[in-house]
């Protein structure tokens, strides 16, 4: 297919996605990374966020919680700590996780790990955004 490249997403559980796509936007450590066909070779860290990728002109979303991306020879390989396609995310569960994290952050006590609570909130927001189709993209 003209104008496409292979997108592979792998998490500890195994391969999450392997598709030909037209465009991908990744949550890089220092900002968003946009990838098109024939992109220069690249290795970069990923932060918690939403991956947007286009297949047959349709935008798809996936929540990721960090990892790395490698771009080489029209193959984008995303090695993620976690990766969940938006259409598989349990929105009620993600909303509950967001509420729990916000509660921990608003009432920090001696037993609350603030860094862990902040990370849990970022992950929940990414999952919610991917599940809702990017309406609340962070």
**pLDDT < 70 positions in the chain:** 1-2, 110, 112, 134-138
- Give all domains of the chain, ordered by start, each with its CATH number: 5-86 (2.60.15.10), 89-131 (1.20.5.440)
The structure's pTM equals 0.87
pLDDT at 133: 85
Closest by Cα among 27, 35, 39 to 72: 39
pLDDT tens-digit map of 124-138: 999 999 999 865 444
Rounded distance, CA 51 to CA 33, Å? Answer: 10
Rounded to 10 degrees, what is the CA torsion of 50, 123, 47, 10?
Answer: -70
Opening angle at CA 50, ends 45 and 56, nearest 5: 110
């Amino acid at each position: 297919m003209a104008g496409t490249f292979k997108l592979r997403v792998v998490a500890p559980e195994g391969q999450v996605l392997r598709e030909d796509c037209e465009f991908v936007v990744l949550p890089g450590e220092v900002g968003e990374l946009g990838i098109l066909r024939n992109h220069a070779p690249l290795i970069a860290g990923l932060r918690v966020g939403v991956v947007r990728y286009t297949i047959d002109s349709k935008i798809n979303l996936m929540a990721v919680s960090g990892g790395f991306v490698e771009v080489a020879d029209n193959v984008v390989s995303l090695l993620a700590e976690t990766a969940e396609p938006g259409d598989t995310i349990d929105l009620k569960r993600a909303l509950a996780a967001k509420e729990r994290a916000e509660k921990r952050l608003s009432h920090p006590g001696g037993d609350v790990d603030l860094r862990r609570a902040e990370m849990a909130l970022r992950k929940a927001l990414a999952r919610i955004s991917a599940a809702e189709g990017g309406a609340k993209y962070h």
